[in-house]
Structure 1
Amino acid sequence: MSRTKLIVMTTTTIALLALSAVASNAWADRNQIDRRGATPTQRDGGRIFDNRYNHNRYYPARGQVVPSVPRASRSVRYRGTPYYFNEGSWYRPTGPRFTVVAPPFGLVVPFLPSFYTTIWVGGMPYYYADNVYYRWLPQERGYVVSNPPDDNQVSTSLPSGDDQLFVYPKNGQNAEQQSTDRYECHTWAADQTRYDPSQPYGGTSPQQASDQRAAYFRAMTACLEGRGYSVR
C-alpha cells in the first residue's frame, strides 16, 4: 500500500472516530436531560410556556442572554453571586450581560412571584413557578428554592380549604416591610393556633389540620389587616 493511500485512510478513520464521539456525546447529553424529567412546556420563540400543574404562564427560555434585567427585578445574593429575580424568572450576570438561569437549591428569597401554583407534598405546600419549587422557611423569613418533589407524591388539590392569601399593601408598604409584616403575622398566627403551614399538616394530625388551618388563616388575615393590608 502506498504511503499516500495510508495517510488518506488514517485521516478518514480519525474523522469518523471524531464524528462518532460527537454523536455519542450528544446522545449522552440528551439522555441526561431525559433522566432529569421532561417539563411539560411549549417553546414559543425565546419564551417557554409552562403548563406543569396547569400553571400556564410564559417565561424566558433558560440559557437566553439579555443585555439587561427587567426594571422591576430584585437582587438576591447566594454564596457571593448576585441573582436577579423578576416574576418567577431568574438572571445571573455573565460579563456585561445577564443569562436566564435556574436558581441554585438553598437560595432563600423573601417573596414569591405574583403568579405561582400551590402543590401539596405529604400535606406540605410547595409553591411552583417556571420549573422552580419554593418552600416557606420560617427561620429564614423567606422561601427556599427546593429540590423537585417526586411526582408520585404531588397533589394539586388542596387537602381542604385554600392556603392562599391575596394581600395588597393599602398604605404603600415596600417589599421589605411587606416581608417583615408577613413573617411577624405568620409567627403570631402560628403561636395562637398551633398551626404552622410550613410543616406537614401544619404540625398537627391530619384529622385536626382542616380546622386549625382555617383558624391560622383567620389569624393571619386579622394581623395583616391590622397593619394596613387588604386581604382576600
Structure 2
Amino acid sequence: MKSVLRRLAALAALLMAAASAVPALADPPDRRHERDRPSTRHDDRARDAYRYPYRGAVVPRIPPGHRVYTYRGHPYHYHDGIWYRPFGSRFMVVLPPVGLVVPILPSGAVVLTIGGIPYYRYGDVYYVHEHDGYRVVDPPESATSAPAAGSDELFVYPRNGQSGKTQATDRFECHEWASGQTGYDPTLSGGGVGEDARSARRADYLRAMTACLEGRGYSVR
C-alpha cells in the first residue's frame, strides 16, 4: 500500500512540474475598441497632408468640443473639419449638405484659387467665403483634374498654420497687389487685357501671386 501511495505521489509531482513548464496562453486581445475606431485615409492632393475618417465610418461617440448645426431640420455634428450624423446610438461620418454655413474653417483647410475664385478645401468638402462665414459648395469642375495650361488656378498650403480668416485676407491682398503690378485681373473677362497680351500678363500675375503668398508663409503650386 505504501508503495502504491509513493508511486501516486511521484506521478502527481511529475504532472505538476510538467504543467509549470508550459507557458501560460495569453487571453486574446479585446478588439472591440478597434471596431469602434473610424477608418482613416491619407490625402496629399496639392501638398495637403492630413488624416480623416472615411465617409460612412461609424463611431461610438464624437470628440468633446464638437458643434451642432441644423440644416433643413436635420442635425449635423462638426468637429475639427469632420462631419457626423446620428446613426442609431452612434454617429456616421458624412458630407455636409451644400448650402450649410459655418463661422470658421478647419485649421488644415487648403486654398485653391480657380478662375479667380478662392475655394477652401478640407478632405472632400469645399467652402467659399461669405459675409457670415463659409458656405459648403459643390466641388468646382476642375478640382479633380490637374491645372490646364493657361489656367489661373493656384494651390496654396498654409505652412505656418494660418487660420481661414488670415488665408482669405492674404489671398485678397496678394491678388490686389499682383493685379496692380501686372494689369491682369482673373476675376474680369479675359483678365481685363487684350488677347495678344493675355498669356504673358497671366504668367506675370501668377508669378506675382506666388511670390506674394510665399512671402507670407504659404507653399504655392
TM-score of the superposed pair, with normalisation by structure 1: 0.49
Change (3 A) 1:97 1:144: same
| Equivalent position to 1:50, from 35, 43, 46 | 43
Is 2:134 the counterpart of 1:143?
A: yes
Q: Distance in 1 between matches of 2:74 and 2:58?
A: 17
* Counterpart residue number, 2:62: 69
Q: Secondary structure at the match of 1:53?
A: helix
Structure 2: gaps of 5 or more residues: 1-37, 174-184, 194-204, 210-215
One-letter amino acid matched to 2:128: R
- 1:122-201 counterparts in 2 under 5 A? 122-138=115-131, 141-151=132-142, 201=186
Larger radius of gyration: 2
Check conservation: 1:118, 1:125, Cα contact below 8 A: yes
Quote how far apart the aligned CAs of 1:163 are. 10
Check conservation: 1:120, 1:154, Cα contact below 8 A: no
| Equivalent position to 1:105, from 75, 90, 98 | 98
Quote how far apart the aligned CAs of 1:154 are. 7.1
Check conservation: 2:115, 2:153, Cα contact below 8 A: no
Is 2:113 the counterpart of 1:120?
A: yes
State the Cα deviation string for residues 32-56 of structure 1 (Å, max 9, x = none): xxxxxxxxxxxxx810112222211
| Equivalent position to 2:83, from 90, 103, 106 | 90
State the Cα deviation string for residues 8-45 of structure 1 (Å, max 9, x = none): xxxxxxxxxxxxxxxxxxxxxxxxxxxxxxxxxxxxx8
Check conservation: 2:152, 2:186, Cα contact below 8 A: no
Check conservation: 1:72, 1:86, Cα contact below 8 A: yes
Quote how far apart the aligned CAs of 1:102 are. 0.9
- 1:216-227 counterparts in 2 under 5 A? none
Change (3 A) 1:203 1:91: farther
State the Cα deviation string for residues 91-111 of structure 1 (Å, max 9, x = none): 111122110011111111111
Runs of 4+ in 1 over 4 A off after TM superposition: 152-160, 162-168, 200-208
TM-score of the superposed pair, with normalisation by structure 2: 0.51
Q: Distance in 1 between matches of 2:190 and 2:65?
A: 41
Check conservation: 2:58, 2:91, Cα contact below 8 A: yes
Change (3 A) 1:66 1:159: closer
Q: Distance in 2 between matches of 1:64 and 1:205?
A: 44
Check conservation: 1:55, 1:117, Cα contact below 8 A: yes
Change (3 A) 1:113 1:46: same
Check conservation: 1:65, 1:100, Cα contact below 8 A: yes
Q: Distance in 2 between matches of 1:132 and 1:93?
A: 19
